[in-house]
């Protein structure tokens, strides 16, 4: 496989899923601190002990050791998020929390020491809880100002340390999870489509204005959008299924179209009209949206199908969006269907439509690993299944590059084991590094190199020539 010379190999995480230290050094509560069971269970009023994220994998205190291990694998880039509530504990303060800023100074300095380029997600499912409770999250236009104040603070502070920025993690997942994704304290069923799309509009304006602001602060910044990419294939060649899949794809992809092209596409305007959705726009919003991103980043785990036939329209497991299972594909232990070729498809599709460089910022296999002891006493995980998964996906990235798609890099999800987002458990592991922590909260937090650690190290060393 021929990967470009400067290809950015690395791994990705999110603050709330690994840092822990949920109330240290002035950090405020985030929505994750009251979601002990992820999307699968109810919210609590206050943080409760069964919430594994409160301690995470204690990255807040152990990041130096962890980054050293990433460097040992040869990472060129490390994607993490800044926990918004470390910088602005409530979200609406005038002044930031210095101790929170200091933590990320140290973290980025450590990355740079090892020649690892940090990539920062500004908002990764961790809106300050106060903004959710007091302002009803992104349904409130005031969130645009709070977000921009936060963005300005971190852009200015880290302008010489961070070059790559992503505005919102999986921005389109708000369609399914308004609370986790948009800080809106309501379920999908409770929220009207008018309020949902108003919140989306606020996020899109915020993302565009942050892109503009970032470029003013440092013209060298590379600022990307981040979407959940999930091709929706027609379940059969019946033209009604084809149109059904087209419309469902458009619903997810509208976010990308606005951020990459700078305006709402025709199909979105039609959708708003047909569904009597009136988005309240203020003067200057349309102009603001024209600040398009420098590149497109996305997560890719699954593909699904769509059908116009109500009898066959049965939703399967998998990812935050989801759809009808594909009869040709196998699933992971958590029911997520595995489709390496779908990644080549997405890369080609996005490049053809938007003509912006692409970055795969999440991909990987969540599996229950078994820690075993080798004769020499060291412990490891023989995760050949993870290696197979990643090899097959990387082959397809190579195919897309051969198709002429400009791919900037690849950061595998959860490069070190962390708490899962949808189910908030430790048992579902993605890492090259095993962390001794279990669903019941027990464990020493020791780190162990899995077999995939050495495999990925070799992939990076050979720049993907040997997978």
Query: Based on CB atoms, which residue is closest to ligand BGP, 29 or 226?
Result: 226
- Cβ of residue 51: shortest distance to ligand BGP, in angstroms? 15
Minimum CB separation of residue 386 from ligand BGP in Å reads 13
**Closest separation between CB of residue 411 and ligand BGP, Å?**
12
φ, ψ of residue 165 to 5 degrees: the values are -130, 145
Distance CA 313, CA 298 (A): 26
Determine contact, residues 208/289, Cβ cutoff 8 Å. yes
b/e per residue 281-298 (b: at least 16 CB within 10 A) = eeeebeebbebbbbbbbb
User: Residue 105 Cβ, how far from ligand BGP at the closest point, in Å?
Assistant: 24
Q: Which is nearer to ligand BGP, 89 or 322 (CB)?
A: 322
Applying CB under 6 A, the residues found at the interface with ligand BGP are 14, 169-170, 299, 320, 362, 366, 413, 420-423, 428
Q: Say which residues have a Cβ less than 8 Å from residue 283's Cβ, sequence separation at least 6.
A: none
Query: What is d(CA 401, CA 1) in angstroms, rounded to the nearest whole number?
Result: 9
- What residues contact 196, with CB distance under 8 A and at least 6 apart? 174, 175, 178
Angstrom CA distances, 89 to 130, 181, 218, 351, stand at: 8, 18, 26, 39
Least distance to ligand BGP, CB of residue 169, Å: 5
* Residue among 30 and 420 whose Cβ is closer to ligand BGP: 420
Active-site annotation holds for 126 = no
Closest alpha carbon to 308 in 251, 249, 233, 245: 245
Instruction: Look at residue 139 and give its three-state secondary structure.
Output: helix
Q: 77 with 9: CB under 8 angstroms?
A: yes
Which listed residue (19, 126, 170, 253) is catalytic? Answer: 170
The closest of 361, 362, 335, 334 to 424, measured between CA atoms, is 334
Q: Which CB atom, from 252 or from 422, has the smaller least distance to ligand BGP? A: 422
Tokens of 368: 């229950």
189 is an active site residue? no
**Residue closer to ligand BGP, measured from CB, 136 or 428:** 428
Task: Provide the minimum distance between the beta carbon of 181 and ligand BGP in the complex, in angstroms, as a whole number.
Answer: 9
Task: From residue 129, give the alpha-carbon distance in Å to each of 42, 85, 320, 357, 467.
Answer: 15, 8, 21, 34, 43
Nearer to ligand BGP, 155 or 413 (CB): 413
Catalytic residue among 19, 117, 203, 362: 362
Catalytic residues: 170, 362
């Amino acid at each position: 496989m021929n990967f470009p010379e400067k290809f950015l190999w690395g791994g990705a995480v999110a603050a709330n899923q690994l840092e822990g230290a949920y109330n240290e050094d002035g950090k405020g509560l985030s929505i994750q601190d009251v979601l002990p069971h992820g999307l699968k269970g109810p919210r609590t009023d206050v943080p409760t002990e069964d919430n594994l994220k409160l301690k995470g994998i204690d990255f807040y205190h152990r990041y130096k050791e962890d980054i050293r291990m990433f460097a040992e694998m040869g990472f060129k880039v490390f994607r993490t998020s800044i926990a918004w509530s470390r910088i602005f504990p409530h979200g609406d303060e005038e002044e930031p929390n210095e101790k929170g800023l200091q933590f990320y100074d140290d973290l980025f300095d450590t990355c740079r020491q090892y020649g690892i380029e940090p990539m920062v997600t500004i908002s990764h499912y961790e809106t300050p809880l106060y903004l959710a409770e007091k302002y009803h999250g992104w349904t409130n236009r005031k969130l645009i100002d709070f977000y921009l104040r936060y963005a300005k603070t971190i852009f200015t502070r880290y302008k010489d340390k961070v070059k790559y920025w992503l505005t919102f993690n999986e921005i389109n997942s708000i369609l399914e999870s308004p609370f986790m994704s948009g800080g809106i304290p309501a379920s999908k069923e409770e929220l009207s489509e008018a309020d949902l799309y108003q919140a989306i509009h606020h996020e899109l304006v915020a993302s565009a204005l942050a892109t503009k602001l970032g470029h003013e602060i440092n013209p060298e910044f590379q600022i990307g959008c981040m979407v959940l990419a999930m091709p929706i294939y027609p379940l059969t060649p019946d033209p009604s299924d084809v149109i059904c899949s087209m419309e469902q794809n458009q619903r997810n992809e509208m976010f990308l179209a606005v951020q990459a092209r700078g305006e709402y596409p025709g199909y979105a305007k039609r959708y708003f009209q047909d569904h009597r959705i009136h988005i309240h726009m203020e003067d200057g919003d349309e102009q603001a949206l024209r600040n398009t991103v420098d590149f497109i980043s996305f997560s890719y785990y699954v593909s699904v199908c769509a059908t116009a036939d109500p009898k066959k329209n049965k939703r399967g497991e998998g990812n935050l969006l989801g759809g009808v299972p594909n009869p040709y594909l196998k699933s992971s232990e958590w029911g997520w269907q595995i489709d390496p070729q779908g990644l080549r498809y997405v890369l080609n599709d996005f490049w053809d439509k938007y003509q912006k460089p692409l970055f795969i910022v999440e991909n990987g296999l969540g599996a229950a690993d078994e820690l075993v002891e080798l004769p020499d006493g060291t412990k490891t995980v023989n995760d050949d299944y993870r290696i197979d998964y990643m090899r097959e996906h990387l082959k397809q990235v190579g195919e897309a590059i051969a198709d002429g798609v400009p791919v900037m890099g690849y950061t595998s999800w959860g490069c070190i084991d962390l708490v899962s987002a949808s189910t908030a458990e430790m048992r579902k592991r993605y890492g090259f590094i095993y962390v001794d922590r279990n669903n019941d909260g027990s464990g020493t937090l020791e780190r162990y190199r899995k077999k995939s650690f050495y495999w990925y190290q070799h992939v990076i060393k050979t720049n993907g020539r040997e997978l």
